[in-house]
Amino acid sequence: MTMQQEMSLVTAAPPVDQIFPEVDMSAGDSSSVVRATVVQASTVFYDTPATLDKAERLLAEAADNGSQLVVFPEAFIGGYPRGSSFELAIGARTAKGRDDFRKYHASAIHVPGPEVERLAEMAKKYKVFLVMGVIEREGYTLYCTVLFFDSQGQFLGKHRKLMPTALERCIWGFGDGSTIPVFDTPIGKIGAAICWENRMPSLRTAMYAKGIEIYCAPTADSRETWLASMTHIALEGGCFVLSANQFCHRKDYPPSPEYMFSGSEESLTPDSVVCAGGSSIISPLGIVLAGPNYEGEALITADLDLGDIARAKFDFDVVGHYSRPEVFSLNIREHPRKAVSFSTTSKVMKDESVNK
């Protein structure tokens, strides 16, 4: 069962008479059904409280439609700075570019922090598993991050984008192997990769090895070619792929000259589409269950038959019967990579005495 729901008082989706209960996976029932929604909507740029309010409205609507899992786009909280150059050039910065970063940094959130607590409260209130794209700040470094919450309001953990793309590398830090989680939940094993890091075979293989079943792919790529990547991952991993992207008009960003779309500002009108969405849900058999949607903000929903995972892996289990470990191997370094480490005096003295 699939549906695409326009976010308005009158919806195009058929009515739903019951809200699906949480799935009990403990009995090993691989034929359970989970209703999942990917949100296609824009950030309220430079306004994190308003974006959180919008997220709650969307979450409530998805929950009313029976969804048990809701996935938001990349950088939904904090914003994806599409088109902005931060006035960067090799060997040069500008005062405006520095102030653009100051405002962007102010829109980011601490993890943990009050915004994370509010998201946890939302997940608990609407009894959904929540996967949320955020811009995280740690000190004065920003990270493109995905947060995970269970339906009881528990913050499960996070994934930081390992490899920002192009100019993103000038404004976001790099994640490490300590935040590549796959969470074993009552509705399946859930993890995420963000935008073009989905193209990294080693990252995908690590997630497959952790048993991922519901592969979330928040993105900023609205090109039609993105669907091919999502379909390939579903087939390769034998997993459901849920890709959520923003749908944005120029007017969803601050007006010029406060915010400039580098190289295209003069050709844009307030109603120009600057990100066309393309959100979708793919089955482990490579079937497009919902989407892609290029028409506007929407809730894109499908019922996931978890039995399809076993049906797909009968053909191809990339880290199981179709692997060749005597030929290929992969080593994942999962410990955090810190620039500075501190040791207490007592620990240093203890270590020195052991080494004598």
- Whether pLDDT at 207 is above 90: yes
Among 190-199, 208-217, 311-320, 345-354, whose mean pLDDT is lowest?
345-354
Q: Which residues of 181-205 are buried (b: 16+ CB within 10 A; e: fewer)?
A: bbbebbbbbbbbbbbbbbeeeebbb
Q: Interhelix angle for 114-126 vs 48-64, to 10°?
A: 10
pLDDT above 70: percentage of residues in the chain: 88
What band does 161 get if pLDDT is binned at 50, 70 and 90? very high
Phi-psi category of residue 60: left, alpha or beta, with phi > 0 → left and psi -120 to 50 → alpha: alpha
In tens, the pLDDT along 72-125 reads 999 999 999 999 999 999 999 999 999 999 999 999 999 999 999 999 999 999
pLDDT (tens digit per residue) in 219-233: 999 999 999 999 999
Q: What is the pLDDT of residue 301?
A: 97
Catalytic positions: 74, 161, 195
- Confidence (pLDDT) at 263: 85
Residues 231-257, mean pLDDT to the nearest whole number: 96
**pLDDT at residue 246 above 50?**
yes
What does pTM read for this prediction?
0.87
H runs (alpha helix) in the chain: 48-64, 95-107, 114-126, 201-209, 226-237, 307-315, 345-355
Task: Give the closest residue to 233 by CA, choosing from 246, 206, 218, 215.
Answer: 215
* Residue 8 neighbours by CB distance under 10 Å: 11
pLDDT at residue 275 tops 80: yes
> Does the pLDDT value for residue 260 go beyond 70?
yes
- Please, are residues 253 and 275 in contact by the beta-carbon 8 Å criterion? no
What pLDDT shows up at residue 41? Answer: 97
**What would the two tokens of residue 77 be?**
């909280």
Q: What is the mean pLDDT of residues 123-147?
A: 97
Evaluated on CA atoms 244, 134, 124, 246, the torsion sign reads negative
- Per cent of the chain over pLDDT 90 is 81
**Is pLDDT at 145 greater than 80 in this prediction?**
yes
pLDDT at residue 355 in the model: 59
